[in-house]
Amino acid sequence: MNSTLKVNYLPALTYRFLKSNNSEIEIKDIKIQDVATPDAENVPTSVTVTKNVTEADIQKLFSGINEKIASRKTTLPGPNGDTSPLNDTQTVKTGMGAEIDELMKEMNVPVTLITAEEGYEIKEPVTIKYSLKDGDCALGSQVIYAKKGSELTVIMEYDSEPEANGFLGIQTRLLAEEGAKINLIKVQMLGEKITHFEDIGGVCDDKADIETINMQLGAGKTWGGCRITLVGDKSVFNNHTGYLCRHKQSYDMNYVADQMGKKTLSNMVFRGVLLDEAEKTFRGTLDFKSGSAGSVGDEQEDTLLLSPDVINRTIPVILCEEEDVDGRHGASIGQLGDDTIFYMESRGIDEESAKKLMIRARMESIARMIPDEAMIIRIQQFIRTIL
C-alpha cells in the first residue's frame, strides 16, 4: 500500500502555488483492522442488502451505464490541465479518485450492495451507523442501487468517543436507473483525533435524481469527494453540504457535477464555518460536456470566517464545451457583517452569542433537510456541545 494517497484532483489543474491541485492523505501509520460495513438498520421491504459483493459484480452492474457514458465521449480537446485520464481506471468515477479504489482493492474491502426494487418509492430511510472506539481504524464500501422508477433514502452516521483516536474511510457509489431517485445523507460527528475520508461517486440515467446531504462536523482531518455523472437526459444532482471546522481541523473537498445528458440539472450548495485555526479547501466543478444542451448548473458557496487564523481556499471551476447551457457559480466569504452584529446587540444578544447563533443557523439550515427528526436533534446537540 502506498504510504501517501493522492486524492481530490481538481478536474483542470491550476497554479501550483495555490496548493489546491490535489491533496494527500498520509496512511503509512494507519493499521486497518475492520473492513466490514455495519449492518443496515430498519431495512424496509423492497430493499435488498447484499454483503460481500465482488468488484467484478459491481463492474457488471455498472457496465450498461458505463457503455452509455463511453458512447457520449467526443474527440474534443479537454480543458487545459485536464486530469480526467487519472480516473479512467475507475468503475465509477468518484470525487476523491482512483487511489481510493486502489486502497479498497488492496485492503480487500468487501462491498455492501443496497438495492431498491423497481418501481418502489421507499420513504423509510435505511440507516448505517459507524461508531468508532479508541484505536479503531476502519474502511467501508457500499453501492446504492435504485432500480428503474424507485426511490431510496440512505442515512449514514459516523460518531465516536470524543477523545478516540482512529481512522475511518468510506466509499459510497450510486447508480440511479431511469426515473429513480437516491437520497444519500452523511452525517459525520467523529472525535477530533480521528482522520476521515468520504468518497462518493454516482451515475444518473434518464430522469434520475441523486440528492446528497453532507454534514461534516467532527474529525481532525477530513477529505471529502463527490462526483456525480449525469449521463441521462433530464437527470438531476442536488447537493447540500454543511461543515463546521474549529481548532486545527481541516476539511479538503472536491465536488464535481459531470453533466453529459440533455437538460440535466445540478445544484450544489456549500455552507460552512471556520473557527480558530481551521483550514478548508473547497473545489467545486460544473463540467458541461458536449451534448449537454439545455443543461443548467449552479454552485453556491457561503463561508463564515470567525477567526484571524483560519485558512480558506476556494477553487470554483466551470468547464464548458457545450453552447446551450447555463452555468453559474457564486461565492461569499467573510466574517459576520457589522450590521448583523449591531442588530443582534440591539436585541440584547452579545457578539459571542450572536456568532454561536449564526453558526447554529447555518448548520441547521442544512440539517433540517434530513428526513429524520432524531438525527436532526443529535446534530443540534453535537453542535451545542462543541460550541
Partner 1 sequence: MSENNKSVVDIDRSVYDIKDVENEQDFYRMEDGFTEDIVKKISEEKHDPEWMREFRLKSLEIYNKLEMPDWGPDTDELDMNLISSYVRSKTDMKGKWEEVPEDIKNTFERLGIPEAERESLAGVGAQYDSELVYHNVKDEVAEQGVIYTDMESALTGDYAEMVHEYFMKLVPPTDHKYAALHGAVWSGGSFVYVPKGVKVDIPLQSYFRLNAAGAGQFEHTLIIVDEGADLHFIEGCSAPKYNVANLHAGCVELFVKKNARLRYSTIENWSKNMYNLNTKRALVEEGARMEWVSGSFGSHTSYLYPMTILKGDHSTMEYTGITFAGKGQNLDTGAKVVHQGKYTSSLISTKSISKSGGIGTYRSSVIINKEAKHAKTSVSCDSLMLDSISRADTIPGMDIRTNDADVGHEAKIGRISDEAVFYLMSRGLSEEDARAMIVSGFANPVSKELPLEYAVEMNNLIKLEMSGG
Residues that bind partner 1 (CB under 8 A): 10, 12-18, 20-21, 76-77, 79-81, 274, 288, 290, 293, 305-335
The smaller minimum CB distance to partner 1, of residues 9 and 62, is found at: 9
Beta bridge partners of 6: 24
198 vs 128: CA distance, rounded Å: 14
Q: How far is the CB of 224 from partner 1 (least distance, A)?
A: 19
Q: How far is the CB of 22 from partner 1 (least distance, A)?
A: 11
The smaller minimum CB distance to partner 1, of residues 212 and 285, is found at: 285
The smaller minimum CB distance to partner 1, of residues 163 and 338, is found at: 338
User: What stretches of the chain adopt beta strand conformation (E)?
Assistant: 4-7, 23-26, 47-53, 111-116, 126-132, 136-146, 151-160, 165-176, 181-189, 193-204, 209-216, 221-230, 236-245, 250-259, 265-274, 279-288, 295-305, 311-320, 325-334
Q: How far is the CB of 332 from partner 1 (least distance, A)?
A: 6
| Runs of H (alpha helix) within the chain | 55-71, 98-106, 338-346, 351-367, 373-386
Q: Are strands 236-245 and 111-116 parallel, antiparallel or unpaired?
A: unpaired
Q: How far is the CB of 100 from partner 1 (least distance, A)?
A: 22
Q: How far is the CB of 250 from partner 1 (least distance, A)?
A: 14
The smaller minimum CB distance to partner 1, of residues 45 and 80, is found at: 80
Residue 301: how many other CB atoms lie within 10 Å: 20
**What would the grid cell of residue 324 be?**
446551450
Q: How far is the CB of 66 from partner 1 (least distance, A)?
A: 24
The smaller minimum CB distance to partner 1, of residues 76 and 374, is found at: 76
The smaller minimum CB distance to partner 1, of residues 17 and 56, is found at: 17
368 vs 17: CA distance, rounded Å: 38
Q: How far is the CB of 333 from partner 1 (least distance, A)?
A: 4
- The answer to whether 279 and 288 have CB atoms below 8 angstroms apart is no
Beta bridge partners of 374: none
Nearest-CA neighbor of 69 among 181, 180, 229? 229
156 vs 116: CA distance, rounded Å: 17
Alpha carbon distances (Å) from 95 to 138, 258, 359, 374: 20, 11, 27, 29
The smaller minimum CB distance to partner 1, of residues 318 and 357, is found at: 318
The smaller minimum CB distance to partner 1, of residues 210 and 319, is found at: 319
The smaller minimum CB distance to partner 1, of residues 21 and 238, is found at: 21
Q: How far is the CB of 294 from partner 1 (least distance, A)?
A: 11
**What would the grid cell of residue 307 be?**
477567526
Quote the longest CA-to-CA distance of the chain. Answer: 63
Q: Are strands 126-132 and 151-160 parallel, antiparallel or unpaired?
A: parallel
Q: How far is the CB of 339 from partner 1 (least distance, A)?
A: 13
